[in-house]
Amino acid sequence: MDINDIFIACADKWAKDELDDRINFALDNFDEWISNYDKEEKELLVKLLQNFDYYSHSSIVAIMEQLNLKILKEYGISSEDSVISVVRKADGKLNSSYEYWLLHRMISGFGKGMYCDSINDIAEEYWKNIHKVVYLDDCCGTGEQFTKFIKRQQKSFENKQIILVVIEAVEDAKSYIKSELAKQGLNVEIVVYNTKEKALKNMIQQEKKLFYKMSQKQEIFKDYVLGFEKAEALMAFYNNTPNDTLGLFWFMSKKNKPIFPRELEEKPGWKLSNEKKKRRSREQYESKCQ
């Protein structure tokens, strides 16, 4: 199969609901990206591309509406005993979970009182009346981020139903979350639009070796060759590409100009200025010590 034909077919699928800037970027940069690979390597990329999913904003809205109906029907989410929250980062920085949380608020029909970005802020007198806690996010690659997040919470989840709602998940991540949190006696359900196996799971050893060789040749940082914590995901979203995705598709290097580059987090000026001062002070100190 010709990889160019496969890519066009993939792009048509990704743009079914909307042809956005990220798809246009992939179309514009595909030829340069693929020029780095030989015939055998392109054949391997064909397999990966066919399983790669991209979600535009329009498709996410439609999917979120489906998932919302699902949690209403299967879990009876309501203002009577439910709260909808965010999978917050340990450092408190904004992440994709906030974006999907706000999007859900727009399409769900629920009042804003059901939405709380930190359950730790809920008074105990109200917390005892809550029986279902819904968390929203874009994806789940390994499950480690979510399990660590739950363990950081100050509130007790005893006798409560935890429901994680995501667009795409790797099968192993779902199993990991349920088994890991079950050790804490926690009841967790995972509602997913698209569940997939690890990208290299069904490849023969020769293909896996070739993939590693390709990634090394393209100078993909070793921690991201298989995605973060070896998630082996194949997905990208309108707002970013998760680092769970195989590095060839998003990791920028001198050799690799990916079709779905990950948005890098830039530090604000007020933080950089302090770091520059510290750096200058250290340099002045070191020069005096020489």
CB 112 within 8 A of CB 140: no
In the three-class reduction of DSSP (H, G, I as helix; E, B as strand; rest coil), residue 35 is classed as coil
| Total tally of structural domains belonging to the chain | 2
User: Where does residue 189 rank: exposed (0-12), middle (13-18), buried (19+ CB within 10 A)?
Assistant: middle
Successive 10-residue mean pLDDT values, the chain, 290 residues:
94 97 98 96 97 98 98 97 96 93 96 96 96 98 97 94 98 97 96 98 97 98 97 97 98 97 72 62 54
Helix (H) or strand (E) holding 55: strand 53-55
- Tell me what pLDDT residue 280 has: 64
- Tell me what pLDDT residue 198 has: 98
- Tell me what pLDDT residue 92 has: 85
- Tell me what pLDDT residue 1 has: 72
33 and 64: one domain?
A: no
211 and 234: one domain?
A: yes
End residue of a domain, out of 173, 196, 219: 196
265 and 285: one domain?
A: yes
- Tell me what pLDDT residue 285 has: 44
- Tell me what pLDDT residue 281 has: 62
| Rounded Cα–Cα distance for residues 145 and 138 (Å) | 13
CB 13 within 8 A of CB 58: no
Instruction: Return the CATH number at 144.
Output: 3.40.50.2020
158 and 34: one domain?
A: no
| Rounded Cα–Cα distance for residues 176 and 73 (Å) | 25
281 and 189: one domain?
A: no
Q: Which of 143, 220, 216 shows the shortest CA–CA distance to 175?
A: 143
The DSSP secondary-structure symbol of 255 reads: S
Structural domain of 261: 1-51+199-290
End residue of a domain, out of 196, 221, 250: 196
| Rounded Cα–Cα distance for residues 185 and 188 (Å) | 10
